[in-house]
Structure 1
Amino acid sequence: MATKFPDAPKIGMVSLGCPKNLVDSERILTKLRSDGYQMSPDYAGADVVLVNTCGFLDSAKEESLEAIGEAMAENGRVIVTGCMGDEADVIRAKFPQVLAVTGAHQYEQVVNAVHDASPPIPNAFVDLVPEGGLKLTPRHYSYLKISEGCNHRCSFCIIPSIRGDLVSRRIDAVLREAEKLVQAGTKELLVISQDTSAYGVDTRHDPRLWKGREVRAHMTDLARELGQLRTADDVAPWVRLHYVYPYPHVDHVIPLMADGLLTPYLDIPFQHAAPSVLKAMKRPANEAKVLDRIHKWRAICPDITIRSTFVVGFPGETEADFQYLLDWLDEAQLDRVGAFRFEPVEGAPANALPGALPEEVKEERYQRIMEKTAAISAAKLQAKIGRVLPVIIDEVGEPDEEDGSVGATARSQADAPEIDGNVFLRDVGEGRRAGDIFDVVIEDADEHDLYGAPVQD
């Protein structure tokens, strides 16, 4: 007689916010899966729904509350975690029936809350987790979180009050995770944290043995070691650095990019350029030196892509300050730019600053900066027409009904997933899969995306 195993409880997950939140969700689900839980793709099949919230801006909080409300309406058994978990009173006032509320990266508390709400059913035959854990991203790229928290005290940000001061992971643990991810099929590693450049500052760059040699918990050592990784096909994965503050030692990773050990891409959160605004933001006001360094980086690695984000409409920002930023962008010629209208966030010191700007001024400046950066992007992408570039496929399309040709959505080394542009490909041929990396010739471009076809042998 066949043994019938009891049905395992099922967990649904809604993950909001940044890639760091996504990594938290993956860790929570990996632990729950190892405890015997199954995953549910919808509300109806879930015994408990987890909502991993974002609380960085008021608009993000509204989105989080909407997600909690939807989960309550569709399922009713909801556990809230993430950055907005620190505002349990707000959540419970609006949704008194939520089962539990926990804060950011409180993995143990979340798992315990799930155990309380829907106890696991131990089963040695089915309690299996893939090596490397469960992933919420496609198989071919993975986020590698190297630290939690931040030592900066930017006046517009409440992240340190939510996630605390910088806590760096051990360098050998980070490298071991990266190696396992690559062995499991990851072709692109995206290094994330609140401040990647500060990695290891809290541990005094504590050295550890890795592959028989001593390696420091330092961004340059980490970058060099990640550049040694190889896939099962003996190909170097793409390694992309995010949230890099422009400390002096960042200069030392540019030659690694020029040598092909790192993806030539830096995500640097400049936030502004005008000295008076940077001072009010409590950020280093060295915009002139940064311009000099950007020019030097491009001299060493001409193909380097620099992406950044900026806040417009900050309290006290004058028209002269904003024009200074636009002129700085003309000089910097950044490849990828995102912008945010300033929003007061509860608990942020910037709320008390004088000179709050009307919403219509913020909107007008936002439109102007986006117009400026779109023009810069369009010119840079036009210059790539005719070049041969490596791309990584994210999605392969269905064969065309008339001629059977197959297209694909890919990205170049200048494009991080979900935040930058795409390379739309025609005639990729049969057998191409997500994660394939190969050379294409660029045939056309618009403001944000490229268009091309595989190089013919």
Structure 2
Amino acid sequence: MSSNPPDLRPDLAPAPRFGEAPRDGQPRIGMVSLGCPKALVDSERILTRLRAEGYGISPDYAGADAVIVNTCGFLDSAKAESLEAIGEAMAANGRVIVTGCLGAEPDYITGAHPKVLAVTGPHQYEQVLDAVHAAVPPAPDPFVDLLPASGVSLTPRHYSYLKISEGCNHKCRFCIIPDMRGRLVSRPAHAVVREAERLVAAGVRELLVISQDTSAYGVDIRHAEERGHRAHMTDLARDLGGLGAWVRLHYVYPYPHVREVVPLMAEGLVLPYLDIPFQHSHPETLKRMARPAHGEKTLERIAEWRAICPDITLRSTFIVGYPGETEEEFAHLLDWLDEAQLDRVGCFKYENVAGARSNALPDHVPEEVKAERWARFMEKAQAISEARLAAKVGTRCEVIVDEIDAEGVATCRTKADAPEIDGNLFIDEDTEGLSPGDIVTVEVDEASEYDLWGRRIAAP
């Protein structure tokens, strides 16, 4: 059976993993991290700072002196999920500090949960620390509170998210992320590379590059070059590709200069994988969305990328039922998907979000029509995925091991699979000696709609 149903949320990060046992008498902070991988990186930074000040990390409510809830505010359903998580933490612990995207609307939070200790916005690390200090004073022990150079990680040791920028300059009508996280602010390239070097030195085998718009990296700082590293997506990809780890690019808009990165994939410097949020195909729908580059000839671009790197994997997300979407526009999307033959696809049914300009558009699509279109879209996407995976049977590929279960079955990912949002490759025999983070060669011998099965091939 496939482990990745078609309603998998592509906006969610992997569940945080807590493995460290606090020392006796150490003040302990719990963390609930909701939303996307970018929020998970924020959670890691907060916990790294707290850990450096002597705080322990509690894996449960009962063992925590206070709980930080890092919220998501991308959709109204995500806001409701965040309020529910805050309520659960309040009921189980009672001492709750709220941060993250929903923190940009403090009245919304305190209206539902007036007894939270503090509310801070996204990436307001200092304010979070101040709130923790007020609620639970630090009690560091310099002889035992040693922080690894790589900081606190909430993902398995063998992969890590690498955030290269904050914010976004686009003004898509359905999105309020720029209102919550601000305009694009790129990190200096040398700082990104230095962080990546530390992660690889600490055992990370896969770097997942994330931002709101990876293609725009460095635009705000005029692609500044400092200490031998230039703040441009292509240069950064080349620099990271020289560190010896898998490098996977997420959230890439299909601008013309993306073509410059694809040869690096063909050379093996970075993974042949592009995560591109196309959102729709019909020009009028894209115009109503105010999508950047909505006039670009994306099908021609896709064909060009595949000509340069035939092994490239393309993943994307789409919105169906956007205000004004006609049956003709939706049919155009299905036909486009047939031609594009994307490898990995996620889909949202449109929903209003407080503050989004799309709320005011005319001709909102009835919920039952959204649901019907979503089902038709995912049926098409699933058939494409099944056919493309079936074509891999009999081929050989490298996989990275994510975990080994009690029965000895190894859950792995190919270069075509990002953690949590894409499929898996399972090895159910000859897994002795394998550990998470190992990279091995397999021959694919079975496929389903979303997953593969394979057997290990001995190294030459």
Answer yes or no: same fold by TM over 0.5: yes
Counterpart check, 1:268 vs 2:286 = no
Alignment of 1:27-38 (within 5 A): 27-38=45-56
* TM-score normalized by the length of structure 2: 0.94
The one-letter code sitting in structure 2 at the alignment partner of 1:157 is: C
**Alpha-carbon offset, residue 383 of structure 1:** 0.1
User: Which residue number corresponds to residue 372 of structure 1?
Assistant: 380
The one-letter code sitting in structure 2 at the alignment partner of 1:217 is: A
User: Which residue number corresponds to residue 315 of structure 1?
Assistant: 323
User: Which residue number corresponds to residue 217 of structure 1?
Assistant: 231
The one-letter code sitting in structure 2 at the alignment partner of 1:41 is: P
User: Which residue number corresponds to residue 20 of structure 1?
Assistant: 38
**Alpha-carbon offset, residue 106 of structure 1:** 0.3
The one-letter code sitting in structure 2 at the alignment partner of 1:244 is: V
Counterpart check, 1:226 vs 2:226 = no
Question: Do the aligned partners of residues 319 and 133 (structure 1) sit closer, same or farther apart at CA in structure 2, a change above 3 Å counting?
Answer: same
Task: State the alpha-carbon separation in 2 of the partners of residues 273 and 309 from structure 1.
Answer: 11
- Equivalent residue for 1:88, pick from 106, 109, 130: 106
User: Which residue number corresponds to residue 9 of structure 1?
Assistant: 27
Task: State the alpha-carbon separation in 2 of the partners of residues 224 and 342 from structure 1.
Answer: 37
Kept in 2: contact 1:408–1:428 (CA 8 A): no
Q: Which runs of 4+ in 1 moved over 6 A?
A: none
DSSP-derived class of the 2:446 partner: strand
DSSP-derived class of the 1:20 partner: helix
Counterpart check, 1:145 vs 2:171 = no
Question: Do the aligned partners of residues 363 and 6 (structure 1) sit closer, same or farther apart at CA in structure 2, a change above 3 Å counting?
Answer: closer
Task: State the alpha-carbon separation in 2 of the partners of residues 287 and 444 from structure 1.
Answer: 40
Deviation digits for residues 223-264 of structure 1, max 9, x if unmatched? 0101110xxxxxx21100000001111000100000000000
**Alpha-carbon offset, residue 285 of structure 1:** 5.6
The one-letter code sitting in structure 2 at the alignment partner of 1:151 is: N
Deviation digits for residues 303-352 of structure 1, max 9, x if unmatched? 10000000000000000000000000111000000000001000000000
Counterpart check, 1:347 vs 2:349 = no
Kept in 1: contact 2:174–2:352 (CA 8 A): yes
User: Which residue number corresponds to residue 154 of structure 1?
Assistant: 172
Task: State the alpha-carbon separation in 2 of the partners of residues 363 and 6 from structure 1.
Answer: 52
User: Which residue number corresponds to residue 7 of structure 2?
Assistant: none
The one-letter code sitting in structure 1 at the alignment partner of 2:445 is: E
User: Which residue number corresponds to residue 334 of structure 2?
Assistant: 326
Unmatched segments (≥5 aa) in structure 2: 1-22
DSSP-derived class of the 1:424 partner: strand
Alignment of 1:95-110 (within 5 A): 95-110=113-128
Kept in 2: contact 1:6–1:121 (CA 8 A): no
The one-letter code sitting in structure 2 at the alignment partner of 1:330 is: D
Kept in 1: contact 2:403–2:410 (CA 8 A): yes
Kept in 2: contact 1:171–1:208 (CA 8 A): yes
The percentage of counterpart residues that share the same residue type is 67
The one-letter code sitting in structure 2 at the alignment partner of 1:293 is: R
Q: Greater CA radius of gyration, 1 or 2? A: 1
DSSP-derived class of the 1:363 partner: helix
| Number of corresponding residues | 437
Bigger relative contact order, structure 1 or 2 (CA pairs below 8 A, ≥6 apart): 2
User: Which residue number corresponds to residue 281 of structure 1?
Assistant: 289
**Alpha-carbon offset, residue 390 of structure 1:** 0.4
Task: State the alpha-carbon separation in 2 of the partners of residues 286 and 105 from structure 1.
Answer: 30
Unmatched segments (≥5 aa) in structure 1: 230-235, 400-405
DSSP-derived class of the 2:384 partner: helix
User: Which residue number corresponds to residue 233 of structure 1?
Assistant: none
Task: State the alpha-carbon separation in 2 of the partners of residues 36 and 59 from structure 1.
Answer: 36
Kept in 2: contact 1:226–1:239 (CA 8 A): yes
Counterpart check, 1:117 vs 2:135 = yes
The one-letter code sitting in structure 2 at the alignment partner of 1:226 is: L
User: Which residue number corresponds to residue 402 of structure 1?
Assistant: none
The one-letter code sitting in structure 2 at the alignment partner of 1:388 is: R
**Alpha-carbon offset, residue 93 of structure 1:** 1.3
User: Which residue number corresponds to residue 452 of structure 2?
Assistant: 450
**Alpha-carbon offset, residue 56 of structure 1:** 0.3
**Alpha-carbon offset, residue 7 of structure 1:** 1.3
User: Which residue number corresponds to residue 427 of structure 2?
Assistant: 425
The one-letter code sitting in structure 1 at the alignment partner of 2:236 is: L
Kept in 2: contact 1:312–1:362 (CA 8 A): yes
The one-letter code sitting in structure 2 at the alignment partner of 1:452 is: G
More displaced 10-residue stretch of structure 1: 443-452 or 120-129: 120-129
**Alpha-carbon offset, residue 279 of structure 1:** 0.2
The one-letter code sitting in structure 2 at the alignment partner of 1:444 is: E
Task: State the alpha-carbon separation in 2 of the partners of residues 153 and 96 from structure 1.
Answer: 32
DSSP-derived class of the 1:419 partner: coil
Task: State the alpha-carbon separation in 2 of the partners of residues 91 and 286 from structure 1.
Answer: 35
Counterpart check, 1:59 vs 2:77 = yes
The one-letter code sitting in structure 1 at the alignment partner of 2:118 is: A
Counterpart check, 1:239 vs 2:253 = no
DSSP-derived class of the 1:257 partner: helix
The one-letter code sitting in structure 2 at the alignment partner of 1:164 is: G
User: Which residue number corresponds to residue 88 of structure 2?
Assistant: 70
Kept in 1: contact 2:68–2:98 (CA 8 A): yes
Task: State the alpha-carbon separation in 1 of the partners of residues 308 and 440 from structure 2.
Answer: 24
* TM-score normalized by the length of structure 1: 0.94
DSSP-derived class of the 1:372 partner: helix
**Alpha-carbon offset, residue 6 of structure 1:** 7.2
- Equivalent residue for 1:176, pick from 194, 199, 215: 194
- Equivalent residue for 1:186, pick from 201, 204, 215: 204
User: Which residue number corresponds to residue 337 of structure 1?
Assistant: 345
Task: State the alpha-carbon separation in 1 of the partners of residues 145 and 428 from structure 2.
Answer: 43
